[in-house]
Amino acid sequence: MSRYERQTRFQPFGETGQAQLEQTKIMVLGAGALGSHIIDQLARMGAHHLAIVDMDIVELSNLHRQTLYDEQDAQLMTSKVEALKQKVHTINQQVHLKTYYQELLSTNIEDIIKDFHPDIILDGMDHFKIRYLINEVCHKLNIPWIYGAAVGSKGTVYGIDFTGPCLKCLLQQIPQTGESCAINGVLPPIVSIVASYEVAEAIRYISGYGFSQQLITLDAFNIQHQSLNIRQLKDDQCPVCHFQKYDVLNDKQNHTIEPLCGDTVRFRLPAHSFDYASDFPGHMIKSTPFAKLIQHKDLAFTLFKDGRMNVHGITEETDVHALYHQLLKAIK
């Protein structure tokens, strides 16, 4: 029996679908819960040309829902893309996974996508705003993409191929969760369901059936499922898919201080900060080639190779700007 016989026996997919899947270049943005589940399924199904973009490290708090990572990855603070590369190699050696250890920004997203040249993009991001950037860049480069989101027990999936509404058109229809899983938590079953629906839409598209054209919303705790035909919701005044105005993509400002969820703020410090981390106040708790952990009073800093720093433990009284400038001064 051939490796993929159980899926090729499913007639609508068949040998032809399998052959297409093996040739298609698929890019996954984000290697968190959704992204790692998506990569897992696609690698097992025999998608030979995969790419993943992410700049996070594996943490213990990821392991309840990010099934490809393990305690050793968290202990070593391995980058998620590197951990995925190793896991994929053990799952299916025919799969080539190209990794981009980079944070997706308006300044680099176009170059990263053009470098891999994907036929289709799957969304594995964990915050909402970035999807508007993905929506714009995919429209500009004419690449179909699948929106997927999972927060709490709820999830949403929608395949966007530019014949129907784009994400911007659906602003009113897509649940504006705004919240993220760091605040509202996330239940592991909704992650695997959303990831599976994203892969299902991808399989449909790749094997020639096109996206389902449904906005799928799910709840893995109240056990609800809704699919809504939204073709008629295409906005004929949509700035993105009608007027090709790419405001988010064209905003090249990188914000040096960005509030993340809960008690965390992200600083963007110069990239050389990583090499001079010992000059920062506080003491170094852990250091790996991917990240450094520094404890400074009640604050915990996670410093990444590109100079990004997540500051945990911010309180109302913390003067965030003063802290940013203190850190900046320390490494000059």
Min separation Cβ 139 and Zn ion, Å:
8
Cα–Cα dist 147/197, whole Å: 10
Q: What is the side-by-side strand order in the sheet with 257-259?
A: 257-259, 264-268, 308-312, 299-304, 291-296, 283-287
**CA–CA dist 193, 220 (Å, integer):** 8
Q: Which residues pair with 224 in a beta bridge?
A: 219
Number of other residues whose CB lies within 10 A of the CB of residue 75:
12
Q: Which range, of 32-40, 106-114, 164-172, 297-305, touches Zn ion by CB under 5 A?
A: 164-172
166 lies in the binding site for Zn ion (CB under 5 A): yes
Task: Choose the binding region for Zn ion from 95-103, 142-150, 188-196, 239-247 (rule: CB under 5 A).
Answer: 239-247
139 scored as a contact of Zn ion (CB under 5 A) = no
Q: Are 116 and 137 in contact (CB under 8 A)?
A: no
User: Of 233, 246, 236, which is closest to residue 160 (Cα–Cα)?
Assistant: 233
CA–CA dist 92, 68 (Å, integer): 14
- Say whether residue 137 binds Zn ion (CB under 5 A): no
Please tell me the distance from the alpha carbon of residue 186 to that of residue 189, in angstroms, as a whole number. Answer: 9
Q: Any contact of residue 77 with Zn ion (CB under 5 A)?
A: no
* Local structure of residue 255 (DSSP, 8 states): P
Tokens representing 242 are: 């009608």
Q: Which is nearer to Zn ion, 44 or 242 (CB)?
A: 242
Least CB distance to Zn ion at residue 129 (A): 17
Residue 104 lies near Zn ion (rule: CB under 5 A): no
Q: Would you state the structure tokens that stand for residue 71, as one six-digit string?
A: 């305690």
Rg of the chain over Cα atoms, rounded to whole angstroms, equals 20
138 binds Zn ion (CB under 5 A): no
160 binds Zn ion (CB under 5 A): no
User: Which residue among 83, 169, 218, 299 contacts Zn ion (CB under 5 A)?
Assistant: 169
- If one asks whether residue 170 binds Zn ion (CB under 5 A), the answer comes out as no
Among 17-25, 34-42, 166-174, 269-277, which window interacts with Zn ion (CB under 5 A)?
166-174
Coil, helix or strand for 56?
Answer: coil
Interaction residues for Zn ion, span 10-69 (CB under 5 A):
none
173-232 residues in contact with Zn ion (CB under 5 A) are none
Least distance to Zn ion, CB of residue 246, Å: 12
HSE-CB for 269 with a 13 A CA cutoff: 31
Residues 286-325 that bind Zn ion (CB under 5 A): none
> CB of residue 249 vs Zn ion: minimum separation in angstroms?
14
Contacts with Zn ion: how many residues (CB under 5 A)? 6
102 to each of 54, 206, 304, how far by Cα in Å?
A: 6, 27, 10
Q: Between 154 and 168, whose beta carbon lies closer to Zn ion? A: 168
Interacting span for Zn ion (CB under 5 A) from 5-13, 17-25, 36-44, 240-248: 240-248
Question: Is residue 241 a contact point for Zn ion (CB under 5 A)?
Answer: yes
> Partners of 60 in the beta sheet?
none
Report if residue 168 touches Zn ion, rule: CB under 5 A. Answer: yes
Give whichever of 171 and 200 is closer to Zn ion, judged by the CB atom: 171
Interacting residue ranges for Zn ion, rule: CB under 5 A = 166, 168-169, 238, 240-241
